[in-house]
Chains A and B, each alone.
Chain A
Amino acid sequence: MTLVFDKLRKQYGQVVAIDDVTTSFAPGLIHGLIGPNGAGKSTLINMTAGSYSVSSGSIALDGKRLDTLKKYQIANSRVARTYQNIRLFDQMTVLENLEVCFYPADVGGTWKEVVWPPYASARREKRREKCMDILRFFDLQGYAETDAGSLPYGRQRMLEIARALVCEPRVLLLDEPAAGLNHHETAELTARLAAQRVPDRITIVVEHDMDLVMKLCDNIIVMHHGKLLFQGTPAEVQASPDVQLAYLGTANDIDEIRAAAQDRRAQLGIRARRRS
Chain B
Amino acid sequence: MLGSLIQQTVNALTIGSIYALIALGYTMVYGVLRMINFAHGEMFMLGAYVAFLVLSMLIGTVGAAGAIALAAAFVIAIFLVGVIGVGIERVAYKPLRNSTRLAPMLSSLGVSLSLVTGIQILAGPQPVAFPSFFPVVRYQVLGGTITSMQIGILIAAFALMFGLQFLVNRSRIGIIVRAVSESRPTAQLLGINVNGAISMVFFVGPLLGAAGGILYASYYGIMTPTMGAVIGLKAFTAAILGGIGSIPGAMLGAFILAFVEVGGTALLPVITHGMLGTEYRDVLSFAILILVLLIRPAGILGEAVSEESIVYKREF
Contacts and interface: CB of A to CB of B under 8 A. Distances in A.
* A/B touching: CB–CB < 8 A: yes
Interface stretch (B57-65, B282-290, B306-314): B306-314
Contacts of A83: 311, 314
A53 interface: yes
Contacts, number: 17
A85 B315 contact: yes
Nearest to B310: A51
A84 interface: yes
Contacts of A58: none
With a 10 A CB-CB cut-off, give which of B311, B314, B315 has the most chain A CB atoms. B311
A83 B307 CA distance: 13
A87 B314 CA distance: 10
Contacts of B311: 46, 51-52, 83
A42 interface: yes
A51 B315 contact: no
Interface in B262-316: 307-308, 311, 314-315
Contact of B308 (A53, A84, A85, A87): A53
B99 to A, nearest CB: 11
Contact of B307 (A42, A51, A85): A51
Q: State the majority secondary structure of interface residues on B.
A: helix
Contacts of A85: 314-315
The 8 closest A-B pairs by CB, nearest first: A85-B314, A52-B308, A84-B315, A51-B311, A51-B307, A85-B315, A46-B311, A42-B315
Interface residues of A, number: 10
A71 B308 CA distance: 12
Contacts of A53: 308
A84 B314 CA distance: 9
Interface of A: 42, 46, 51-53, 71, 83-85, 87
A51 B308 contact: yes
A70 to B, nearest CB: 11
A206 B216 CA distance: 59
Contacts of B308: 46, 51-53
Nearest to A53: B308
7 contacts: A52-B307, A52-B308, A52-B311, A71-B307, A83-B311, A85-B315, A87-B314
Contacts of B314: 83, 85, 87
Chain B, interface size category, equals under 10
Nearest to B306: A53
A84 B307 CA distance: 15
A71 B315 CA distance: 19
Contacts of B315: 42, 84-85
Contacts of A71: 307
A42 B307 CA distance: 14
A208 B307 CA distance: 25
A52 to B, nearest CB: 5
Interface string B233-274: 000000000000000000000000000000000000000000
Nearest to A87: B314
Nearest to A52: B308
A46 B309 CA distance: 12
A71 B311 CA distance: 14
Interface in B92-114: none
A207 to B, nearest CB: 15
A46 B314 CA distance: 13
Contacts of B307: 51-52, 71
A119 B314 CA distance: 40
Nearest to B308: A52
A85 B315 CA distance: 6
A265 to B, nearest CB: 36
Given A52-B307, A52-B311, A87-B314, 14 more contacts: A42-B315, A46-B308, A46-B311, A51-B307, A51-B308, A51-B311, A52-B308, A53-B308, A71-B307, A83-B311, A83-B314, A84-B315, A85-B314, A85-B315
Interface in B62-87: none
A55 B314 CA distance: 22
A83 B315 CA distance: 9
Contacts of A51: 307-308, 311
A156 to B, nearest CB: 15
B60 to A, nearest CB: 57
A62 B307 CA distance: 27
A46 B307 CA distance: 10
A33 to B, nearest CB: 16
A85 B313 CA distance: 10
Contacts of A87: 314
A234 B314 CA distance: 31
Nearest to B313: A85
B314 to A, nearest CB: 5
B100 to A, nearest CB: 9
A53 B308 CA distance: 8
